[in-house]
């Protein structure tokens, strides 16, 4: 997913986005880096668990939403260029990128401010500006229930149940 987002940002904004924390040779300035700082943050509530039937039979499906955070920094030769490009990449998340994210079943839940991340290296500055973006996705898993002996658990549908409470018959 992060690869798709990186490539789409480049396609839509012309800002090259590389993975952070890499030992690969760095591209010429300007460029951006993306770091998956929080890959899985439990969202509120419990997972939805239900039984589904498909061509292969009856299965159990578990769906859970979760959040994750990307930190994006733009590196440039001047402070003004770093700010301009960081704003362009940030805008991608609520303009051009919104449709691409929706296609991956992802929504933006929090888009941080563009902040100064410039550092001083030996005798010059490395101009950086960046922001964090929090997204929400869905983790969907479908699986067969299996007994300890390796055979599949088979589910039967219950149409009615008769309950008896202290001598009272309730249908």
Q: Which of 16-20, 59-63, 93-97, 103-107 has the lowest mean pLDDT?
A: 59-63
In a domain, 42, yes or no: yes
Residue 94 lies in a domain: yes
What's the gap between Cα 88 and its chain centre? 20
Is the distance from CB of 85 to CB of 30 less than 8 angstroms?
A: yes
Whether 147 shows a pLDDT value over 60: the answer reads no
pLDDT value of residue 121: 77
Has residue 167 been placed in a domain? no
Task: For 92, list phi and psi in degrees, rounded to 5.
Answer: -55, -35
CATH of the domain at 48: 3.30.70
The range of the structural domain enclosing residue 70 comes to: 2-151
- The structure's pTM equals 0.76
Q: According to the model, what pLDDT value does residue 5 have? A: 95
Would you say residue 169 lies in a domain? no
In this structure, are residues 76 and 82 in contact, taking their beta carbons and an 8 Å threshold?
yes
pLDDT of residue 168: 60
Contact between residue 118 and residue 129 where contact means Cβ atoms under 8 Å apart:
yes
Residue 9 domain flag? yes
The Cα–Cα gap between 77 and 97 comes to 26
The confidence band for 117, taking pLDDT boundaries of 50, 70 and 90, is very high
Q: What are the pLDDT digits (tens) for 121-141?
A: 777 778 999 999 999 998 888
Say which range, 31-35, 45-49, 82-86, has the weakest mean pLDDT.
Answer: 45-49
Asked if pLDDT for residue 170 goes beyond 70, the answer is: no
Q: Number of structural domains, the chain? A: 1
105: in domain = yes
Please report whether residue 171 resides in a domain: no
Instruction: Give the tens place of pLDDT for each residue, 55-82.
Output: 777 778 888 999 999 999 999 999 999 9
Residue 160 lies inside a defined structural domain of this protein: no
């Amino acid at each position: 997913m992060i690869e798709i987002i990186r490539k789409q940002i480049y396609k839509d904004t012309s800002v090259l986005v590389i993975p952070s924390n890499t030992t690969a040779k760095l591209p010429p300035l300007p460029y951006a880096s993306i770091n998956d700082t929080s890959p899985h943050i439990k969202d509120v509530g419990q997972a939805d668990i239900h039984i589904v039937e498909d061509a292969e039979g009856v299965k159990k499906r578990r769906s859970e939403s979760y959040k994750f955070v990307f930190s994006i920094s733009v590196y440039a030769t001047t402070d003004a260029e770093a700010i301009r490009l960081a704003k362009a990449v940030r805008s991608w998340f609520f303009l051009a990128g919104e449709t691409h994210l929706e296609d991956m079943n992802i929504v933006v839940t929090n888009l941080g401010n563009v902040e100064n991340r410039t550092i001083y290296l030996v005798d010059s500055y490395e101009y950086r500006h960046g922001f964090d973006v929090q997204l929400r996705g869905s983790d969907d898993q479908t699986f067969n229930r299996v007994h300890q002996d390796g055979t599949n658990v088979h589910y039967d549908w219950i149409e009615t149940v008769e309950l008896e409470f202290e001598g009272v018959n309730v249908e």
